[in-house]
Amino acid sequence: MNAVDADVDDLVLDSWLSLSLFTYADYFSAFSTIYQHVCCKCTKSYKYKWNLLRHLKYECGVAPQFICKLCHKAFTQKSSLKSHVAYVHGYQLTIK
């Protein structure tokens, strides 16, 4: 059974590569978008790698950097602070 499976995989890969538009890199990047990107610290998972990178840089193990001046609630993301101010305090905040 293993030999048959391998033959099928090779066939699929060969037919993919025979479309000269595609390279090995395309082949693997097409599949990597399906994989979840999982944070090694808190096991949160993201569909896209850049979301995981953003999470690692701004969220995971990082002290909240954006503080509401009105109630001193802390947020890890500027967009969260903005929506908090708009929703809780009822006006748009311009953050420089």
- Residues near Zn ion, by CB under 5 A: 39, 41-42, 44, 60, 68, 70-71, 73
8 or 71: whose CB is closer to Zn ion?
Answer: 71
DSSP of the chain: -HHHHHHHHHHHHHHHHHSTT--HHHHHHHHHTTS-EE-TTT--EESSHHHHHHIIIIITT----EE-TTT--EESSHHHHHHHIIIII-S-----
Beta carbon nearer to Zn ion, 6 or 74:
74
The smaller minimum CB distance to Zn ion, of residues 11 and 42, is found at 42
What's the closest the beta carbon of residue 71 comes to Zn ion, in angstroms? 3
Smallest distance, Å, CB 75 to Zn ion?
9
Write down the least CB distance from residue 94 to Zn ion, Å.
15
